[in-house]
Amino acid sequence: MLGIMPARNTRDFNRRLVLQAIRMNERIARADIARLTGLTAPAVSNIVGDLIADGFVQEIGRASGRAGQPAIELSIKSDGACTIGLHLDHDGCTGVVVDLSGQVLAAQERPMPSPSPETALSALTGLFHALIEETGVPLSRLLGVGLVTFGPIDTAYGVVRRPPLTSGWEDVPLRRQLSNAVGYPVYFDNNATAAASAEHWYGIGRTYRDFLYVSFGHGLGGGVFTDGRLHRGAARNAGELGHVIVEPEGLPCGCGAHGCLETRASLFALKRDLGDEWGDMDRLAAAVVEGEPRVMAWLDGAAGWLAQAVVSAANLLDTQAIIFGGRPPEPVLQVVAQRTEAHARSRFLRGDATGPRFLVGQSGARVPALGAAILPIYDAFALASAPRVTMPADNKTPLRRMARRRRRTPGAGTAASGIRAR
């Protein structure tokens, strides 16, 4: 059990626990929520009542197959609200609209090689309006906008800080700029961290409480989940796997160091070594399926470098799984995962039998955008580590209504540290 927190933090954390229990179990009674979370029955009833009133949770009928009077079960109300997720990458931007269950209602992409801050802001703003127009979603149902991009970033101030492999992006206040442009709250995070969150909420990561996520894109990023929670670190940039040094006297990296992992294992490195044409993901996937020798040799070499980093991380974190995701199609990620495992398997402290599993998660350009769409949901349901938000003056959004209710919710009971599905 967790220790007692200040009243407001306890209240917010308990709301998140209740939502998590409902989300993970699809249908669940109030008494089961109390049992899973360690909250008192009155606290659960109060929180559930607010979530129903806010339109985020619904009653779906009585449980069957139980003795006595069956309890009324609850589920997430998918159409109670929606969010927009935007991902700005080195070669374009992607946007999605999702409901509370994670169903994608619309998705669009905008190619944009090496965008400047000005062109990026214009494209993101246009993408936001295009998604609203396509879905016809009333703005009253929109929780907010999640924006993720390449790091390093400062999530507290919504600023992009001197990212490698780019120019003109020094201390750009992108979150504030986009919030002003669209007139809506914008939540801001690193793209690899967001992709890891998407894997945890909607992908194979739901099965594991401790995993390392490897995001294979233009650069190389990562995310760390421990005991079912995202680990952010002091500066909220945890998971920068691409800047683990694997070759001390190696190639120069855009971050200023030498021998960083992403100089050997990333799409940037692939195009540098084999040619720009291999930035075409369809061509890359076809080459892998056909076993094209140069591509397969390069992937095997990249997997060898990856193995150095993931073995160290897995031994340090004692993780259950290493999940590979990112821009490349699934056949490419399968080869990367399999060959990284082949290089790494004998090096784990726990040995072959009990070492972490190597798995392939979701792939494609939409994954970070899906993670971005989760950010407003994190904040709405009071996740303790949710990024700060720039809030417009309008007081009529679902998020504002929920915030007003949150201030009136009693903080009863002490919460358990995690939720497991039944």
Residue 357 shares a structural domain with residue 224: yes
Ordered per-residue pLDDT tens for the chain, 422 residues: 222 233 346 777 788 889 888 887 878 999 999 999 999 999 999 999 988 998 889 999 887 766 667 889 999 998 888 999 999 988 899 999 999 888 899 999 999 888 899 999 999 999 999 999 999 888 888 989 999 998 788 888 899 987 776 678 889 999 999 999 999 889 999 899 999 999 988 889 988 999 999 999 889 999 999 988 888 888 777 888 999 999 999 999 988 899 999 999 999 999 999 999 999 999 999 999 999 999 999 999 999 999 999 999 988 999 999 999 998 999 999 999 999 999 998 777 665 566 799 999 987 778 899 999 999 887 766 443 333 333 344 444 444 444 444 444 333 333 333 444 44
- Pairwise CA distance, residues 12 & 7, whole Å: 9
183 plus 111 within the same structural domain? yes
Residue 33, amino acid: I
How many alpha carbons lie under 13 Å from residue 159 in its C-beta half-sphere? 9
Dihedrals phi, psi of 414, to nearest 5 degrees = -115, 135
Q: Is residue 288 part of a domain?
A: yes
Angle between helices 330-344 and 293-317 (to 10 degrees): 60
Residues 273 and 224 in one domain: yes
Whether residues 247 and 184 fall in one domain: no
Structure-block tokens of residue 223: 């995310």
Containing structural domain, residue 154: 81-194+367-395
**Is the residue at 415 inside a domain?**
no
Q: Are residues 44 and 138 in the same domain?
A: no
Domains of the chain: total:
3
pLDDT of residue 232: 85
- Whether residue 176 is contained in a domain is answered as yes
Strand partners, 29: 73
Q: State whether 217 and 359 are in the same domain.
A: yes
Q: Are residues 250 and 327 in the same domain?
A: yes
Q: Is the same domain home to 292 and 323?
A: yes
Q: How many C-beta atoms lie closer than 10 Å to residue 93's C-beta?
A: 24
* DSSP secondary structure code for residue 72 in this structure: E
Chain length of the chain:
422
The pLDDT value given to residue 353: 61
The label of the residue with tokens 């050997």 reads 264
CA 178, distance to chain mean position in Å, is 20
DSSP track, 352-375:
TTTSPEEEEEEESTHHHHHHHHHH
Do 274 and 336 share a domain, yes or no?
A: yes
CATH code of residue 59? 1.10.10.10
Which residues partner with 58 through β-bridges? 75
Amino acid at 149: T
Phi and psi (nearest 5°) for 170?
A: -90, 115
Specify whether 236 is located in the same domain as 295: yes
Q: What is the CATH number of the domain that holds 333?
A: 3.30.420.40
Among 229, 248, 232, CA closest to 240: 232
Q: What is the pLDDT at residue 126?
A: 97
Q: Would 413 be classed as within a structural domain?
A: no
| Co-location of 288 and 228 in the same domain | yes
- 58 domain residue, yes or no: yes
Answer yes or no: is 1 within a domain: no
pTM check: above 0.75: yes
Residue 421 lies in a domain: no
- 383: CB partners within 8 A, 6+ apart: 16
Residue matched to tokens 């931007």 = 93
* β-pairing verdict for 389-390 and 57-62: unpaired
Largest Cα separation within the chain, whole Å, is 71
- Which token pair is 42? 């009155």
Burial 98-109 (b: 16+ CB within 10 A, else e): bbbebeebbbeb
Are residues 71 and 144 both part of a single domain?
no
| Residue pointed to by tokens 């070759």 | 247
Specify the residue for token string 């940039």.
237
Structure tokens at 226: 């421990």
Q: Cis omega before residue 356 (within 30°)?
A: no
Domain contains 414: no
